[in-house]
C-alpha cells in the first residue's frame, strides 16, 4: 500500500470515527516501520485516536514518540479538548516549551485559547493573547476567532468585539460567538443588532442568541426569539436550540411551557437525542414533575453519565433518596463512572434520610475508587449529613480540617443543627464565628438571633438584628410564582394591590382560623423587626408563598397539585403553614425554593422539616 494511501485512510478513520479500522492501519504502520521515519505517521494516528474518542491510545502513542513537532502537540491538545479535558491541555502546554523547546504556532494558539474558553480561565487566556500579539502569527484570523469566543464566554463581549473588528475574513463562527457573548451578558440590543447585520445567518446563529439569553437569565426573550425564528422559516435541522428552550422552561419553572417544547421535540423527531432527553429529565425535575423525569429516563436507550446524574439529583432533591441511591448502584453495574456532580447528588440524598455510614462510604469511594478531588460543595454536603443526623462534633471537625475555607452555608448548616438539637453552647460558639465572618444571608441571621435569644445574650441579639436591617436594605425582594399551566402569577411579600386581593385575603383568613383550631401558633421569632406581636403575625400572614398558594387554590381545578417557585428559602413559619393547608384542603403543594423541593401532602413535607 502506498504511503499517501495509508495516510488518507487514517484521515478517513478520523473523519468518520472508525477506531477499529484505525487500529488496523496503526498495526500496519508499525509492522512496515513507517513510524520510524519522523513524526508524520504518529501525528496522524494521534489525531485519529483523539477524534475517535480513544484518548488513552492517543496519549500512549504521543508519549512513545522519540521526536515531536508542533503538529504532534497540536494533535494531543485537540485530543484533550475533544475529551472535555481542557485543564489537561493547559498543563501539557508547559511541557511543550520546557521539554521540547517549541514555541506555539497558530494551530497551537487556537487549541490553547479554546481550552481557556471552556474553562472560563481568564488569566491564562489573557497571557496567551499577549503572547499571540507579539508572535509571527498575530494576523491569523482563526486564532482571533477563538479569542472572540474566549472573551464572549468569559463575559467580556466588548473586548471580544474589539478582537472581532480586527478579523479580516469574518466568518459565521466569529459572528455567532460575539452574538452569544452580548446575549449572555444581557446586552439585548447589541446582540439583536449583530444578528440583524450578519451577512449569512443560520440556525447556529439563532441558537447562539437564544442560548445566550437563557444562560443570561433572559428566558422570556429567548422564547420570543424562537417564535421569530419559526416565522422566518428557519429549519430546525438539529436539536440544540430546543435544548436551550427546555433549559429556559426549567429556569422559569413553567411546566406547561416545558411540555410544549417537549411536544415540539417529538414532532420534529428528536426524542431519541440523548442530549435533548438529558435536558428534559432536568427540566421535569426542576418543574416538580419527577414522575415525568423518571419516565423520560426509563425510555432512553442510550444513557450517559449526564442522564444518570440528572435523574439521581432530581430524585435526591425531591426527597426520594432511596431511589437515588438505588439508581447509583444500577449505574455502576453498567460500567459508567460517576463524576463530581453525581457524588454531590448522592451526598445530598444521604443527608436527607440520615444515612451517615452510607454517606461516609460514598465520600471515601469518590476519592479512593474514582480518584476525584472533593470540592467545597462535597465537604458542605458531608457537614450537612453529620449535622442532620446529630453528629455535631464530627460536623465541626470536618469544617475545621477540610482543605477549604468554610463558607457561610457550611457554618449555617451546623448552626441549624445545633438549634434543632438544643445545643445552645455549641450554637453560640458557631454564631460568634459567623458574626466575625459577617453573614450575608438573612436566614443565617435569624438562626443566630434565635440561638442568642435562647442563651439570653440580648446584646448579641441586638447586634444581629441591626445587621439584619442592613441586609434587608440590600437583599432582593422575596417573591413566589404559582404555575397554573397556561398562566402563572407572581406575588411579592406584603403585596396588597392584586385584583383578587379580597378573595385571597378571605381565603387566607379562613385557612388561618382552621389552622389555629388544629393547633397552629405563629412563629414570630422569625420576624426580627421591633414591633407588636399582632403586627409580627400580620407580617407573616402576607408572605409571598401564602399569597401564591391562596391564588392557586382559587384558580386551579379541585384536586390538582399547586406548584410554586420561590426565589428565597421558605421561612420556618410558612413551612408549618403549608403543611397545615395541604391537610385542610387535601391538595399536594409543591414548592421549589432556593434550597430544594418541598412536597407538602396530608400535613407532612418531604424534607422532613430540615432544609
| CATH number for the domain that contains residue 78 | 1.25.40
Residue 144 sits in the same domain as residue 47? no
Are 183 and 190 in contact by the 8 Å Cβ rule? The answer is no
Domain count, the chain: 4
What's phi and psi for 597, nearest 5 deg?
-100, 145
Task: Judge whether 332 lies within some domain.
Answer: no
Question: Of the residues 112, 134, 169, which one is the last residue of a structural domain?
Answer: 169
Residue 456 sits in the same domain as residue 496? no
Q: Which tens digits make up the pLDDT trace of 252-281?
A: 889 999 999 999 999 999 999 999 999 999
Task: Judge whether 369 lies within some domain.
Answer: no
Residue 69 sits in the same domain as residue 110? no
> Which residues, at least 6 apart from 594, have a Cβ–Cβ distance to it below 8 Å?
566, 567, 568, 569
Q: Greatest CA span in the chain, whole angstroms?
A: 94
Residue 569 sits in the same domain as residue 528? yes
Region for residue 348 given its phi and psi (left: phi exceeds 0; alpha: psi -120 to 50; beta: otherwise): alpha
Pairing of strands 562-566, 604-605: unpaired
> What mean pLDDT value characterizes the chain?
92
Q: At residue 497, does pLDDT exceed 90?
A: no
State the pLDDT confidence band at 35, using cuts at 50, 70 and 90. Answer: low
Residue 84 sits in the same domain as residue 136? no
Residue 555 sits in the same domain as residue 533? yes
Residue 599 sits in the same domain as residue 509? yes
Percent of the chain surpassing pLDDT 90:
75
Of 574, 481, 544, the C-alpha closest to 251 is: 481
Average pLDDT over residues 148-158: 97
Task: Judge whether 359 lies within some domain.
Answer: no
3-class secondary-structure state, position 141? helix
Residue 67 sits in the same domain as residue 149? no
Task: Judge whether 48 lies within some domain.
Answer: yes
Are 352 and 360 in contact by the 8 Å Cβ rule? The answer is no
Average pLDDT over residues 35-61: 89
CA dihedral (8, 11, 12, 17) in degrees, to 10, reads 160
Task: Judge whether 403 lies within some domain.
Answer: no
Instruction: Supply the Cα-derived Rg of the chain in whole angstroms.
Output: 28
Residue 439 structural domain = 421-474
Q: At residue 535, does pLDDT exceed 90?
A: no
Task: Judge whether 271 lies within some domain.
Answer: no
Residue 435 sits in the same domain as residue 506? no
34, three cell numbers? 513507517
Are 338 and 332 in contact by the 8 Å Cβ rule? The answer is yes
Q: How far is CA 298 from CA 128, 313, 438, 518, 565, in A?
A: 46, 15, 46, 42, 27
- Percent helix / strand / coil, the chain, rounded to 5: 70, 5, 30
Question: Of the residues 112, 136, 169, which one is the last residue of a structural domain?
Answer: 169
Query: In angstroms, rounded to a whole number, what is the distance separating the alpha carbons of residues 226 and 244?
Result: 10
Q: At residue 526, does pLDDT exceed 70?
A: no
Task: Judge whether 146 lies within some domain.
Answer: yes
State the pLDDT confidence band at 494, using cuts at 50, 70 and 90. Answer: confident
Pairing of strands 488-492, 479-483: antiparallel
Q: How far is CA 493 from CA 125, 474, 477, 550, 568, in A?
A: 44, 16, 8, 13, 11
Task: Judge whether 576 lies within some domain.
Answer: yes
Are 563 and 288 in contact by the 8 Å Cβ rule? The answer is yes
Residue 526 sits in the same domain as residue 587? yes
Q: Which tens digits make up the pLDDT trace of 359-397?
A: 999 999 999 999 999 999 999 999 989 988 889 999 999
Average pLDDT over residues 223-240: 93
State the pLDDT confidence band at 538, using cuts at 50, 70 and 90. Answer: confident
Query: In angstroms, rounded to a whole number, what is the distance separating the alpha carbons of residues 327 and 311?
Result: 8
Q: At residue 489, does pLDDT exceed 60?
A: yes
Q: Which tens digits make up the pLDDT trace of 108-133?
A: 999 999 999 999 999 999 999 999 99
Alpha-carbon dihedral sign for residues 428, 430, 433, 434: negative
Q: At residue 549, does pLDDT exceed 80?
A: yes
pLDDT of residue 198: 94
Residue 504 sits in the same domain as residue 593? yes
Of 344, 338, 265, 341, the C-alpha closest to 304 is: 338
Of the CA atoms within 13 Å of residue 472, those in its CB half-sphere come to 13
Within 10 A of 26 (CB to CB), how many other CB atoms are there?
A: 22
Question: Of the residues 39, 63, 89, which one is the last residue of a structural domain?
Answer: 89
Note the helical H segments in 402-519.
408-421, 424-437, 442-454, 458-474, 501-517
Q: At residue 472, does pLDDT exceed 80?
A: no
Query: In angstroms, rounded to a whole number, what is the distance separating the alpha carbons of residues 491 and 484?
Result: 14
Residue 582 sits in the same domain as residue 486? yes
Of 374, 293, 383, 301, the C-alpha closest to 341 is: 374
Amino acid at each position: 500500500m502506498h504511503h499517501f494511501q495509508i495516510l488518507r485512510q487514517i484521515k478517513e478513520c478520523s473523519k468518520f470515527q472508525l477506531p477499529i479500522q484505525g487500529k488496523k492501519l496503526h498495526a500496519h504502520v508499525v509492522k512496515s516501520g513507517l513510524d520510524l521515519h519522523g513524526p508524520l505517521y504518529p501525528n496522524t494516528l494521534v489525531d485519529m485516536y483523539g477524534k475517535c474518542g480513544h484518548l488513552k491510545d492517543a496519549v500512549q502513542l504521543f508519549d512513545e514518540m522519540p521526536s515531536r513537532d508542533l503538529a504532534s502537540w497540536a494533535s494531543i491538545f485537540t485530543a484533550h479538548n475533544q475529551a472535555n479535558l481542557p485543564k489537561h491541555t493547559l498543563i501539557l502546554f508547559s511541557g511543550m516549551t520546557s521539554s521540547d523547546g517549541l514555541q506555539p504556532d497558530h494551530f497551537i494558539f487556537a487549541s490553547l485559547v479554546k481550552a481557556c474558553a471552556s474553562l472560563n480561565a481568564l488569566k491564562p487566556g489573557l497571557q496567551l493573547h499577549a503572547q499571540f500579539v507579539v508572535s509571527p502569527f498575530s494576523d491569523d484570523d482563526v486564532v482571533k476567532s477563538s479569542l472572540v469566543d474566549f472573551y464572549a464566554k468569559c463575559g467580556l463581549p466588548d473586548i471580544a468585539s474589539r478582537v472581532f473588528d480586527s478579523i479580516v475574513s469574518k466568518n459565521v463562527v466569529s459572528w455567532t460567538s460575539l452574538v452569544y457573548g452580548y446575549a449572555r451578558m444581557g446586552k439585548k440590543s447589541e446582540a439583536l443588532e449583530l444578528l440583524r447585520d450578519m451577512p449569512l445567518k443560520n440556525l447556529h446563529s439563532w441558537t447562539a442568541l437564544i442560548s445566550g439569553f437563557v444562560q443570561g437569565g433572559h428566558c422570556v426573550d429567548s422564547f420570543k426569539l424562537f417564535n421569530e425564528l419559526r416565522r422566518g422559516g428557519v429549519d430546525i435541522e438539529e436539536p440544540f436550540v430546543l435544548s436551550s428552550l427546555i433549559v429556559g422552561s426549567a429556569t422559569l419553572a413553567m411546566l406547561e411551557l416545558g411540555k410544549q417544547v417537549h411536544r415540539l421535540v417529538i414532532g420534529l423527531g428528536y426524542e431519541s437525542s440523548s442530549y435533548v432527553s438529558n435536558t428534559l429529565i432536568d427540566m421535569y425535575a426542576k418543574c416538580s414533575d419527577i414522575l415525568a423525569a423518571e419516565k423520560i429516563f426509563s425510555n432512553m436507550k442510550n444513557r450517559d453519565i449526564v442522564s444518570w446524574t440528572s435523574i439521581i439529583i432530581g430524585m435526591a432533591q425531591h426527597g426520594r433518596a432511596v431511589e437515588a441511591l438505588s439508581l447509583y448502584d444500577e449505574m455502576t453495574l453498567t460500567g459508567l463512572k460517576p463524576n463530581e456532580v453525581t457524588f454531590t447528588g448522592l451526598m445530598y440524598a444521604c443527608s436527607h434520610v440520615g444515612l451517615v455510614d452510607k454517606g461516609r462510604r460514598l465520600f471515601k469511594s469518590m476519592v479512593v475508587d474514582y480518584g476525584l478531588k472533593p470540592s467545597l460543595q462535597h465537604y458542605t454536603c458531608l457537614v450537612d449529613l453529620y449535622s442532620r443526623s446529630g453528629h455535631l462534633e464530627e460536623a465541626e471537625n470536618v469544617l475545621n480540617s477540610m482543605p477549604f475555607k468554610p463558607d457561610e452555608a457550611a457554618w449555617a448548616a451546623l448552626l441549624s443543627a445545633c438549634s434543632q438539637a438544643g445545643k445552645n453552647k455549641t450554637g453560640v460558639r458557631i454564631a460568634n464565628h459567623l458574626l466575625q465572618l459577617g453573614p450575608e444571608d438573612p436566614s443565617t441571621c435569624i438562626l443566630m438571633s434565635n440561638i442568642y435569644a435562647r442563651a439570653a445574650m440580648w446584646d448579641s441579639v441586638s447586634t444581629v438584628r441591626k445587621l439584619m436591617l442592613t441586609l434587608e436594605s440590600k437583599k432582593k425582594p422575596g417573591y413566589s410564582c404559582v404555575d397554573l399551566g397556561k398562566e402563572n402569577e407572581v406575588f411579592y411579600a406584603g403585596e396588597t394591590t392584586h385584583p383578587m386581593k379580597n378573595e385571597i385575603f378571605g381565603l387566607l383568613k379562613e385557612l388561618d382560623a382552621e389552622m389555629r383550631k388544629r393547633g397552629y401558633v405563629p412563629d414570630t421569632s422569625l420576624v426580627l423587626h421591633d414591633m407588636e406581636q399582632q403586627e409580627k403575625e400580620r407580617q407573616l400572614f402576607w408572605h409571598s408563598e401564602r399569597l401564591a398558594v391562596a391564588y392557586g387554590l382559587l384558580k386551579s381545578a379541585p384536586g390538582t397539585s399547586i406548584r410554586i417557585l420561590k426565589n428565597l428559602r421558605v421561612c420556618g413559619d410558612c413551612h408549618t403553614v403549608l403543611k397545615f393547608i395541604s391537610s385542610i384542603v387535601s391538595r399536594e403543594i409543591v414548592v421549589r425554593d432556593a434550597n430544594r423541593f418541598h412536597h407538602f401532602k396530608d400535613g407532612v413535607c418531604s424534607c422532613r422539616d430540615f432544609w
